[in-house]
Amino acid sequence: MAGRALITGVGGQDGALLARLLLDQGYEVAGIVRREPAAYAESLGELRAAIELVEADLLDRDSLVAALRATRPVEVYNLAAPSFVPRSWDEPILTAEFAAVGATSMLEAIREVDPSIRFYQASSSEIFGEPRETPQTEETAPSPLTPYGVAKTYAHFITSSYRRRYGMFACCGILYNHESPLRPVDFLPRKVARAAAAISLGLERELVLGDLSARRDWGYAGDYVRAMWLMLQHDEPGDYIVATGESHSVEELVACAFDAVSLDWRDHVRSDPALYRGSAELHDLVGDASKARRVLGWAPEVRLDELMRMMVEADRARLQDAENAAS
């Protein structure tokens, strides 16, 4: 369904990758941003010229109504939210406002402007917190543990309740961790990729991490934004788990990153118990994406070793560019 698509959070990792995918599919792409559009020149790079940016406040339904009237989308992807889970303990109110109330404001704005607009909500595996079963499916009961997970659970249920009550084409993608070279360095896989790149270039010597036995289901963000788009192309709206279905330890992820630069991670990585996250966040989340495979024909294409190689190579190029610019 090409036409006009509107993305909130277009300046983030998924927003940029989704914008690129939609442009390639023939869409015109607009993005909602919270700061003046000029502030996104660097983060969006060459995409900036290809998409229209509109300033709006996720908590102000009227500003969202104005953005929808100005851009007239056929699809809206709601990706904007504070996304770094540990920080949600420092900013629980802000997290609740933007991740939970923000989704509600957008649904209300769509209902007013054009209820036939198709809506995608960025739901998260964090809604399962301490999972009742493994792997998790769309039927697994949410049991969030963090302010982020709780806020995303609210957004998840408000989306499905608008679907039932108003018949809106509204979908939730329950996405597990997904990474790319665009991931900020706060997040573990990017932190590891950057360190492996810096150590291989002789710029750093050691990487200190928390629990190396912690496990996650990590995928490639480029694969996951394709699932978002496929959800809005289907005949019926629904909720979908998007995951690789494979759990890997931090140690395995670290080994993949250092393999990419032909180094032995044991020579460079140390685990510090002071950095362990604790039981309010530690959990073993693995998703069963059978429904997305069966109904949408979606499957992840990039394996963890390929993903880490891609990220390490991008960081090596960035660091070398910075070195060259400084010399």
- CB closer to ligand NDP, 183 vs 309: 183
- CB closer to ligand NDP, 9 vs 142: 9
Looking at this protein, which amino acid is placed at residue 255?
A
Nearest approach, Cβ of residue 287 and ligand NDP (Å): 10
- CB closer to ligand NDP, 204 vs 249: 249
One-letter-per-residue 3-state SS of 260-294: CCCCCHHHCEEECHHHCCCCCCCCCCCECCHHHHH
Cα 179 to Cα 8, 42, 173, 192, 302, distances in angstroms? 19, 20, 16, 12, 11
Nearest approach, Cβ of residue 262 and ligand NDP (Å): 28
Looking at this protein, which amino acid is placed at residue 4?
R
- CB closer to ligand NDP, 199 vs 221: 221
Nearest approach, Cβ of residue 82 and ligand NDP (Å): 5
Nearest approach, Cβ of residue 56 and ligand NDP (Å): 9
- CB closer to ligand NDP, 125 vs 200: 125
Q: At what angle do helices 61-71 and 102-113 cross, to 10 degrees?
A: 50
The residues of the shown chain that bind ligand NDP, judged by CB under 6 A, are 9, 11-15, 33-35, 58, 79-83, 98, 122, 124, 175, 177-178
- Of 268, 226, 161, the closest CA to residue 21 belongs to 226
How far apart, in Å, do the first and last CA atoms of the chain sit? 49
- CB closer to ligand NDP, 118 vs 178: 178
Cβ atoms of 70 and 48 closer than 8 Å: no
Q: Tally the residues of the chain.
A: 327
Nearest approach, Cβ of residue 233 and ligand NDP (Å): 19
Q: Which two tokens stand for residue 57?
A: 């406040």
Nearest approach, Cβ of residue 235 and ligand NDP (Å): 25
Cβ atoms of 287 and 243 closer than 8 Å: yes
Cβ atoms of 18 and 77 closer than 8 Å: yes
- CB closer to ligand NDP, 122 vs 241: 122
Q: Where are the alpha helices (DSSP H) in the chain?
A: 13-24, 41-44, 61-71, 92-95, 102-113, 147-166, 188-200, 221-233, 250-259, 290-291, 304-326
Q: Which two tokens stand for residue 135?
A: 């792997």
Cβ atoms of 9 and 30 closer than 8 Å: no
Residues with catalytic annotation? 124, 126, 148
Cα 220 to Cα 20, 63, 251, 272, distances in angstroms? 15, 33, 18, 27
Nearest approach, Cβ of residue 81 and ligand NDP (Å): 3
